[in-house]
A and B are shown apart, each in its own frame.
Chain A
Amino acid sequence: MSERPVECSGCQKPIKYCYKVIEGNAISTSEMCADCPILTSKLRQGPQSESEEMQSQVLCCHKCHTTIEAIQRNSPLGCSECYLVFEGLIIEELLKQEAIAPRLRASIEVNRSIPLHLGGSPTKAPQEITLSKRLQELNSALNEALNKEQYEEAAYLRDQIKELMKKEHER
């Protein structure tokens, strides 16, 4: 029969969770309420240090009150300010989730302060693709395909180039 943890012997709150630990042939079960700090520490795989406990109690976004725990649980962020408040943690999470493009990942692991964003900005909008740029890319890809003797791919690219030239001529 499962029981509350020893530390919770005085707790009167209704049981919400059953926590089962299986080690080899031994199974131990505890029952806990929804707010149980023992459950929280078990889920963190160990008790929090006092400083960790203080940090997680103190550090939340002043604007939307998103907490460290929410970010670690991969919950959505609450506001743009969270990116400033939790900058370091967000980079860790992005690395953990492998969400940063590979070519930057290795550099970030070594130096956390390098810029992450390489795209457009409000003052420099994402680049539109002009016809000449598209043709340039296709020609470059065609040469690469021919060098690699990938003739089917080369034929496909050549058809795309013809199609683009035809459209431009019609225009």
Chain B
Amino acid sequence: MSDKLPPTLSTRTPWEEIKNPIWPMTSFILRRSVNPYLFPAQLDEAMASQALSLFQEAFTHVKTLDSPKIFSSNELTPTERELIAEHFLEPAKLQKSGPNQAIVLDNPSTFLGLLNFDDHLELRMFTTQEDWEVSWNRLCQLEKELGALLDFSFNPRFGYLTSSLRDCGTGLKIRAHLHLPGLILKGQLDESLEAAQLEGNRALSFEADPGEFIGDLLHLENSFSIGIPENEILSSLIKSASHLAISEKKAREELKTEESAHIKDLVGRAFGLLSHSYELHAKETLGALSLLRLGLSLGWVEGLKDSDLSSLYFFARRAHLHHLENQTISQEELPHKRSQFLREKLRESKLTF
């Protein structure tokens, strides 16, 4: 369906090769504005077009990225934009893109550049490996290369200037994506968040809904971009995320020892839902996948690898399903297609209890 996007985006998911199933991904986001342009929302058509050409030209000269491809917003279909948003775990923004905006992707599809969205440049890089500093260093390199070509808006008082006040200063957002079903099931999440000393960081759910952690996924991100240097933002977030990951590991070990009938029942029901339903909606699917992943880590599911299950977090989502089916699926048909896909994927797996 989409042969213009990098193959790694359309055929693979970010979580196929995760190093730590509890902490599958860390994302880094840097925001920059460029002189002499007004911020994107204020640019008229001509200036927006001029600015965009300048930014696109800059990206053709960077060496840090592997075969970057630049797509103007109107080159991509809504489904392609949604596919990118799902891949990078970034919700609504991409789907609302307008003229004189562009998206940059690299070949491994671990980098996403947004040009002329809320700010002139939004540089996003993620890693699924534990050596997150490699990704951070790459982003620093990229920022340095672009900074040599473009005049970033900077003020000694407020740092890097952005359209949103909350993003000025370092312009840096870091997100640690954590899978915490053990802590949630044991009712220990609040206690663990407190013990992780989150000051300076905040916990968000998958779709930034504070009320519910969909798929038991929690995003830990820094609250402050100004008044703190980059290395402290990094070390504070990594410390809090590590603490939560350790707590989750401990919770899972306890669950394994306890052999709780209730938890086994939840895992069994999740397995049943995914392997025998006729229709599956996104939210219930992610919840069930989370329980199945937990079951797998506790040795209660066989016939599957964690990488297969982790990938289903992406493949079960709408744009990925459209892409796999190589056709547009109607809203009415989507739950059934999702269930068909998952039944096929779980065909060889079974519960061990």
- Residue numbers of A with Cβ under 8 A of B are 63-64, 66, 74, 76-80, 83-84, 87, 90, 93-94, 97, 99-105, 108, 115-122, 125-129, 134, 137, 141, 152-153, 156-157, 160, 163-164, 167
Contact = CB atoms under 8 A, between A and B. Distances in A.
Nearest to B118: A76
Interface string B219-244: 00000111111110011000100110
A119 B229 contact: yes
B227 A104 contact: yes
A22 to B, nearest CB: 28
Interface stretch (B36-44, B83-91, B273-281, B340-348): B36-44
22 contacts: A66-B42, A74-B165, A76-B118, A78-B38, A78-B41, A80-B161, A83-B157, A83-B168, A90-B165, A94-B226, A99-B166, A101-B224, A102-B199, A102-B200, A116-B157, A119-B169, A119-B228, A120-B170, A125-B140, A126-B172, A129-B231, A129-B234
Nearest to A79: B38
Nearest to A80: B153
A123 to B, nearest CB: 9
B242 A153 contact: yes
Interface of B: 33, 35, 37-39, 41-42, 118, 130-131, 133, 136-137, 140-141, 143-144, 147, 152-159, 161-166, 168-170, 172, 199-200, 224-231, 234-235, 239, 242-243, 245-246, 249-250
Contacts of A115: 156-157
Contacts of B230: 119-120, 126-127
A157 B245 CA distance: 12
B229 A118 contact: yes
Nearest to A126: B230
A153 to B, nearest CB: 5
Nearest to B19: A163
